[in-house]
Amino acid sequence: MTEKKDPVENAIELAKPLLAQLSFGAAMGYCSGMAMKKVGKAVAFGVGVIFIGLQAAASTGYIAVDWAKISDDTMKKLDTTGDGKVDAEDLKLYWKKLKALLVNKLPSSSGFSLGFLYGVRYG
């Protein structure tokens, strides 16, 4: 008696090449997103500590901080489109640059963006 193949097994066999590509790109995206979230948290923590230290020193009279100049200089650096504000268009440009860097020479980058978002959200 021959054993009948399961329909799900047949579908998996047919989709094997696609699943291998999607899973590798998605896995690398997930890992990258998870790492980006952790690095982002560490950077935010560091910036927060520096801000608290500067504000404490400024409020006790040890230093003078020109927050308007710091804000203007920071916005000029972050504004990639040159329109005077940091908005969604600037973020899209940063994402395109980051994605190009992360998927460079990756054998399969399909699924990378979705994996990245999942890693940032749930990692």
| For range 26-39, the mean pLDDT | 93
**26 with 111: CB under 8 angstroms?**
yes
Phi first, then psi: what are they for 39, rounded to 5°? Answer: -65, -40
d(CA 36, CA 110): 19
Instruction: Report yes or no on whether pTM surpasses 0.85.
Output: no
Q: Which tens digit of pLDDT belongs to each residue from 35-46?
A: 999 999 999 999
Q: Which tens digit of pLDDT belongs to each residue from 94-107?
A: 999 999 999 998 88
Domain ranges of the chain: 8-122
Residue carrying structure tokens 């696609």: 18
Token reading at 111 = 């699924």
pLDDT at 68 over 70: yes
Q: Determine the 3-state secondary structure of 84 from DSSP.
A: coil
Looking at 31-121, which runs of residues are DSSP E strands? none
**103 with 27: CB under 8 angstroms?**
no
